[in-house]
């Protein structure tokens, strides 16, 4: 039997650091990997490859393998910048196929409780990017959480003096929702933002 100090215990300890993975799940994952050595090897290789190849784009700070990233170097409208908290949000916007501009990844949101201030984010780089000119609109697509809203407020105040149009993603009822089950604050936003047909 394996002892507590074995390599399996070390693997279980590492797997436990993943979000949502506890002792039992980690053990289950470890045994699953032990049973299929080629999957285990492929996972280790994929991890090492990601470590060596993935970095942040020097322009928009999205994660990328090539610098500048495929969006910054692609055939996109560099005059409209969509500001997101992280690369996952960027991917969600890309999946919508509705944005043809470029992005700017803040790498977080302002959160005094977590000790994250404006200087910890890529806000200076955004202001410099907009300040260089040629930018007509900045769409703020931070999350609709306390931190995201605080960041949006800060960005709006910082961007306004640069003479650029600042917009925010629309609030409202999500597609496919039953209004009965939508929270009151969202219904309030949806009413205030109602559109003429």
Query: Quick check: 116 binds a copy of itself (CB under 8 A)?
Result: no
Q: Collapsing DSSP states into helix, strand and coil, what is residue 110?
A: coil
CB 108 within 8 A of CB 118: no
Closer CB to a copy of itself, residue 22 or residue 133?
22
Residues 130, 158: Cα–Cα separation, whole Å: 11
**Ramachandran sector of residue 125 (left: φ over 0; alpha: ψ -120 to 50; beta: rest):** alpha
Choose which of 22, 46, 124, 193 interacts with a copy of itself (CB under 8 A). Answer: 46
Query: Quick check: 30 binds a copy of itself (CB under 8 A)?
Result: yes
Burial degree of 194 (CB within 10 A; 0-12, 13-18, 19+): exposed
Residues in 150-169 that interact with a copy of itself by CB under 8 A:
none
Residues 162, 144: Cα–Cα separation, whole Å: 24
Choose which of 61, 81, 84, 103 interacts with a copy of itself (CB under 8 A). Answer: 103
Binding string, residues 53-92; x marks residues near a copy of itself by CB under 8 A: xx-------xxxx---xxx--------------xxx-xx-
Query: Quick check: 39 binds a copy of itself (CB under 8 A)?
Result: yes
CB 12 within 8 A of CB 31: no
> What is the smallest separation between the CB atom of 106 and a copy of itself, expressed in angstroms?
14
Closer CB to a copy of itself, residue 74 or residue 117?
74
Closer CB to a copy of itself, residue 43 or residue 191?
43
Q: Which stretch binds a copy of itself (CB under 8 A): 26-34, 126-134, 153-161, 179-187?
A: 26-34
DSSP letter string over 26-60?
Answer: HHHHHHHHHH-HHHHHHHHHHHHHHHHH-EE-TTT
CB-based contacts of 87, cutoff 8 Å, min separation 6:
62, 63, 105
Contacts with a copy of itself by CB under 8 A lie at: 1-3, 6-8, 10-11, 13-15, 17-20, 25, 27-34, 36-37, 39-44, 46-51, 53-54, 62-65, 69-71, 86-88, 90-91, 94, 103
């Amino acid at each position: 039997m394996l002892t507590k100090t074995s390599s399996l215990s070390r693997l279980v300890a590492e797997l436990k650091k993943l979000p949502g993975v506890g002792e039992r799940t980690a053990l289950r994952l470890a045994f699953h990997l032990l049973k299929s050595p080629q999957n285990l090897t492929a996972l280790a290789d994929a991890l090492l490859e990601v470590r060596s190849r993935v970095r942040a784009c020097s322009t928009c700070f999205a994660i990328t393998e090539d610098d500048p990233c495929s969006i910054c170097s692609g055939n996109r409208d560099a005059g409209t910048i969509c500001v997101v908290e992280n690369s996952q949000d960027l991917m969600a916007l890309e999946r919508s196929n509705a944005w043809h501009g470029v992005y700017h990844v803040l790498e977080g949101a302002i959160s005094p409780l977590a000790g994250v201030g404006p200087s910890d984010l890529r806000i200076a780089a955004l202001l410099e990017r907009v300040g260089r000119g040629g930018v007509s609109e900045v769409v703020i697509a931070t999350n609709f959480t306390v931190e995201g809203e605080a960041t949006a407020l800060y960005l709006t105040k910082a961007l306004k003096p640069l003479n650029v149009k600042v917009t925010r993603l629309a609030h409202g009822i999500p597609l496919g929702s039953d209004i009965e089950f939508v929270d009151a604050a969202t219904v309030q936003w949806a009413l205030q933002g109602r559109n003429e047909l």
